[in-house]
Amino acid sequence: MKKIPFYFLLASLFLGSCKWHLNLNLNPDVKPDPAKPIVLTSRQSEKLACDNAFSFNLFREVATSDRKVNAFISPLSVTMALGMLYNGTSPDARAEMVTALQMNGFSDEEINEYYQTMSQALLSIDPLTAISIANSIWCEKSYPVKQAFINVNKKYYGAEVQNLDFTLPSTLKTINNWCAQKTNNKIPTVLDKIPSEVVMYLINAVCFKSKWESQFEKKNTQNEKFTLENNTKKYVAMMDQTETFSYGADEMLQCLEMPYGNQAFSMVVILPAAGKTIDDIVNELDNNQWSTILSTLQKCEVHVKFPRFKQECEFSLEDVVAHLGMQLIFQKGGNLNRISDDPTLFVSEIKHKTFVEVNEEGTEAAAVTSVVISGMADAGPSIPIPFFANRPFLYLIKEKSTGAILFIGRMDDPQN
């Protein structure tokens, strides 16, 4: 079976507001010029390949070991939040993060500059796609934070920094409102409360909205059967179109790529072959697998049936991140000594919330990752190829020229 590299995006640039002003009602008969590829240096390309490896490892941990039905995550959001944290860790904790995040051999400056470069490129590559990546640092106003930690995250991550009184009810509302604004109100609540021992939040928010290059006509959408892995059948709203797409297949899977906007971004759908399951695919998916799958895609006429769906997910990633090798960040003892000299400082929670809606017009997706830091409280005509996604499948949203992955998910039950 051929294999694929997930070109996953590690980048962030703070924007004052999400770019939801673009015209999503453009004339469908007018095709935009194809996007110009993002040009990376050889060193940046190496970094991107390393990021993809972490993306697959992260998704495998969330979507298989946790048995999350319809799991949907943003590796971009998770890694951006961890990237800010990385700048505050001790040498030992940092070494763990380097290994887990596949960043061996890269200097701090190379890592931070890469995030900055990719952010700027992703935000500007497709005028027909609304995308925003925002970072913020929320500090308890009486807690001493090292200025160097603040400066590096403001410089490379564009992080907005606010010092607030965490004992005031208004602080909770302020942070949640920021997350709602940066996700186009798709994730309105990230925090339920602020525990007394929390002294800082590192938060990343990502939002994406774009139309299909070839939209599905609503009149063709009908209720059809979707077969779950346990052979239960449910009726779902199944979209339908026949069009020329990039397509590939082997003994393990069928793969379809459906572009958005000016083709800078696309959704890649991986449908297990008969007798195979999503877990069979996820357990083998890595950089090589991903590269091979993408390299075999060819343009051909495809009859596509794809379910219309909307879902929200929430994950606590402490165990997942620890299992991937980052353990010292969860322990007291000076492991976050580049944030503060407080030896009681530690990461108490990593919360990840996502939203995705797929319909006839296109896709809207959003994610928020919150790293919670606690310490001392007072401180010619052809026969169309059938691609019927009428059983569980994987789907990914990526940037085409680099392969950078913004989102990855599995759809087990469109009605769940």
Q: Is 6 exposed, middle or buried (0-12, 13-18, 19+ CB in 10 A)?
A: buried
What pLDDT band is residue 118 in, cutting at 50, 70 and 90? confident
pLDDT for the residue 47: 87
Please give the CATH number for the structural domain made up of 218-309+382-411: 2.30.39.10
Lowest mean pLDDT across 23-32, 187-196, 257-266, 271-280: 23-32
The residue with greater pLDDT, 285 or 64, is 285
- Mean pLDDT, to the nearest integer, of 8-15? 27
The residue with greater pLDDT, 32 or 48, is 48
The class of domain 42-211+310-374 in CATH terms is alpha beta
Q: Cα–Cα distance between 198 and 330 in angstroms, integer?
A: 13
The residue with greater pLDDT, 120 or 250, is 250
pLDDT in tens, 152-180: 999 999 999 999 999 999 999 999 999 99
Q: What is the DSSP letter of 119?
A: H
Lowest mean pLDDT across 181-195, 216-230, 293-307, 366-380: 366-380
Helix 108-124 crosses helix 75-86 at what angle (to 10 degrees)?
140
- Mean pLDDT, to the nearest integer, of 185-192? 95
409 with 72: CB under 8 angstroms?
Answer: yes
Residue the block writes with tokens 């980052």:
326
| Helix spans in 299-341 (H) | 318-323
Answer whether residue 25 shows pLDDT above 60. Answer: no
Task: Of 30-44, 270-284, 352-366, give the range with the top mean pLDDT.
Answer: 352-366
CA angle 322, 326, 332 (to 5 degrees): 95
pLDDT for the residue 381: 61
- Mean pLDDT, to the nearest integer, of 260-274? 95
String of DSSP letters for 129-171: EEEEEEEEEEEETTS---HHHHHHHHHHH--EEEEE-TTSHHH
Lowest mean pLDDT across 9-23, 134-148, 263-277: 9-23
- Mean pLDDT, to the nearest integer, of 390-410? 91
> Which residues are CB-contacts of 317 (< 8 A; sequence separation ≥ 6)?
62, 78, 350, 351, 352
- Tokens of residue 196, six digits: 């007394």
User: Which run of H or E residues covers position 50?
Assistant: helix 42-60
| Helix spans in 243-354 (H) | 278-282, 287-295, 318-323
Answer whether residue 130 shows pLDDT above 80. Answer: yes
Domain boundaries, the chain: 42-211+310-374, 218-309+382-411
String of DSSP letters for 51-113: HHHHHHHHHHIIIIIT--TT-EE-HHHHHHHHHHHHTT--HHHHHHHHHHTT-TT--HHHHHH
